[in-house]
Structure 1
Amino acid sequence: MNSRRLTPSMSLLLAFEAAARHESYTRAAEELKLSQSAVSRHVQALEQLLELKLFRREGRRIALTEVGRVYQRELSEALGQIRNASMRAISHQSGGGFLRLATLPTFGSKWLLPRLHRFYAAHPRILVNIHSRIDAVDFHASDLDAAISVGVDHWPNLVSHRLHTERLTVIASPRLAGARLPLAPSQLNEFLLLNVVSRAEVWGEWFEQHGLDSRSIRPGPSFELTSHLIQAVADGIGIGLVPRILVEDELREGELVSPWPSIVSRRSYYLVYPKRNQSLPSLEAFRTWLEGEIADSHCDRN
């Protein structure tokens, strides 16, 4: 087979990859600083070269064909490797680099950002760009390098490093619970139980571990962000069940109280990233620093 057919030009590949990611010639054109017609011509030229139909029209929209989706998935991986190779070379030359990191919003604001100045002190030439993500990160559809996520030990096609076993703790405002402390677990149904939308099951888990009937749960308001739930608890709206790592400061300062010992969750915090990023210098430096910070914070509590 003609080798030229198997190695399309970078301009054709970049146009297709952007159009496939956005499923829009217009948005791809904005990203690539080209005209919409130029992106369309590049994609058509690629289809003619490969003798494949990569997109189909759906009204005014474009959508990937099945072969187009397979091609995009493998091409995104290959382009990511090229970008990372270039980034490593530039980083090696300058002694710096940057890291595009996704993190859970509340973990980022409550735990990571207050400590990040220590990373910059140790690595002043590396910049960490923080992106908040609640849902799982799709590394094929984004240019993110790594993510701090929470879940069970199942990260298909990703490298994962377990950072911290999640411990859930009941939190309350001293004004709400102070007069009635100590409380028996069975008294929990006297309060509104606040929850995070993505973790609606945690109260059932807590009741189960304490041998209580979960049907007695008195549900309260739900929140998309854990930080909003923590604020609602501090304002006396109800009681929350949150990862203890996110409320260490409030508990230490007496802004919140925790009537009972924490329970071990089924989940843990992980640093995850695609295999292609394993040797990225900025990621290696950040991972080493992050694991050290987690270890130090455990020592501080013991």
Structure 2
Amino acid sequence: MNPRRLTPSMSLLLAFEAAGRHGSFTRAAAELALTQSAVSRQVQALEALLEVALFRRDGKRIELTAAGALYQHELAGALARIRGATLQTISHRSEADTLHLAVLPTFASKWLLPRMGDFYGRHPGSLVHIHSRIVGGDLSQGAQDMSAIICAGSGQWPGYVAHRLLSEKLVVVASPKAMPAHAQVSVQDAARQLLLGVVSRPHAWSDWFASVGLVGSSTLRLGPSFEHTAHLIQAVIAGIGIGLVPRILVQDEIAQGELVTLFEPMESGRGYYLAYPTHNQQLPSLVAFREWLLSIPFPDS
């Protein structure tokens, strides 16, 4: 069959779809900024091409045939998808220098945002919208509407490009005011403290104690859990309990004497990554941000 017959011109399809939706050549003409006779001729041309009657005509009244109704229904969905794709493409053009970035909340406030001034100084025409997201193993479920994401995990996400930024090391922290003898604290002493955690890592403490040779998590004093690590850090500073947190997120508090570390850091097996869908890798805004971020010398976490 002639391919042209299967792919009528857009002008014919638009005229037919509008006429079928309105049930009127006149109203379709008004929508399309055409004359009534032009719409009628285009519909007739489409019927001649398909060799199928799409309308029943009774004087000035028109009514879709069964074949016409089915065709109009299918075309309406197809045209909506075309319009949506066009709008999306236009938005990429208009937002060429705009990046929608999902970031772990505490990482954003403690590490990324203090450095964004340098990025804007190097790329004054860029705009980065930062969205706080705690994303699990499936990035497509938590960041499908984002240009890119900074997250923690294994770095193995199908359909995503992932750049490792740094490895994650967990450290036990306490308030020096609440625990003045912190230098002499043993693992057994730590197990008797109120253990603060984050909701996204419910087994962090049991895993840590197992790694240092203390088994039997039923004896642990598990305290409140927090949605954001920043809240946990503030609770530890306030002396509510001790916390197990990524060391990169408490370096300032340790340097300022608000927190002290009780034991050597422990590798968590996870890393921090910049990740993004493969189809986004050439976005100008992402290219600029990626090059800037990967140029930063990350400290030993």
Q: Common fold, TM-score beyond 0.5?
A: yes
Determine helix, strand or coil for the equivalent of 1:120: helix
* Alignment match, 2:93: 86
What aligned pairs does 1:1-302 form with structure 2 within 5 A after superposition? 2-3=6-7, 48-49=73-74, 82=89, 86-87=93-94, 91=96, 97-136=97-136, 137-138=139-140, 142-215=144-217, 216-293=219-296, 295-298=297-300
> 1:141 deviation in Å?
7.6
Gapped regions of structure 2 (runs ≥ 5)? 18-68
Q: Give distance in 2, aligned partners of 1:189 and 1:151.
A: 27
Q: Give distance in 2, aligned partners of 1:46 and 1:83.
A: 28
Q: Give distance in 2, aligned partners of 1:232 and 1:86.
A: 45
Q: String of CA shifts for 1:168-204, please: whole Å, max 9, x gaps.
A: 0001000122224221122111210000011111111
Q: Give distance in 1, aligned partners of 2:202 and 2:259.
A: 22
CA distance 1:219–1:3, shift in 2 (3 Å): same
Q: Give distance in 2, aligned partners of 1:141 and 1:151.
A: 14
Q: String of CA shifts for 1:243-287, please: whole Å, max 9, x gaps.
A: 111101001111100011110012111111111111111111111
Determine helix, strand or coil for the equivalent of 2:275: strand
Q: Give distance in 1, aligned partners of 2:157 and 2:86.
A: 22
Runs of 4+ in 1 over 6 A off after TM superposition: 44-47, 78-81
Matched to 1:108, the amino acid is A
Q: Give distance in 2, aligned partners of 1:249 and 1:281.
A: 33
Q: Give distance in 2, aligned partners of 1:112 and 1:186.
A: 36
Is the contact made by 2:165 and 2:298 (CA closer than 8 Å) also made in structure 1?
no
Q: String of CA shifts for 1:223-245, please: whole Å, max 9, x gaps.
A: 11111000000000000000111
> 1:296 deviation in Å?
4.3
* Alignment match, 2:36: none
Is the contact made by 2:102 and 2:143 (CA closer than 8 Å) also made in structure 1?
no
Q: String of CA shifts for 1:72-125, please: whole Å, max 9, x gaps.
A: 9xx99x6797357525xx74xxxxx11111101111011100111111111111
Is the contact made by 2:192 and 2:220 (CA closer than 8 Å) also made in structure 1?
no
Gapped regions of structure 1 (runs ≥ 5)? 13-43, 55-71, 92-96
Is the contact made by 1:102 and 1:133 (CA closer than 8 Å) also made in structure 2?
yes
Matched to 1:101, the amino acid is L
CA distance 1:84–1:273, shift in 2 (3 Å): farther
Q: Give distance in 1, aligned partners of 2:250 and 2:87.
A: 37
Q: Give distance in 1, aligned partners of 2:221 and 2:143.
A: 40
Is the contact made by 1:151 and 1:269 (CA closer than 8 Å) also made in structure 2?
yes
Q: Give distance in 2, aligned partners of 1:186 and 1:140.
A: 39
CA distance 1:107–1:141, shift in 2 (3 Å): closer
CA distance 1:270–1:214, shift in 2 (3 Å): farther
Determine helix, strand or coil for the equivalent of 2:200: helix
Matched to 1:106, the amino acid is T
CA distance 1:86–1:210, shift in 2 (3 Å): same
Is the contact made by 1:119 and 1:289 (CA closer than 8 Å) also made in structure 2?
yes
Structure (1/2) with the larger helix percentage: 1
CA distance 1:223–1:79, shift in 2 (3 Å): farther
- CA root-mean-square deviation: 3.4
Q: Give distance in 2, aligned partners of 1:178 and 1:47.
A: 77
Q: Give distance in 2, aligned partners of 1:240 and 1:141.
A: 28
> Structure 1 length normalisation: TM-score?
0.69
Determine helix, strand or coil for the equivalent of 2:268: strand
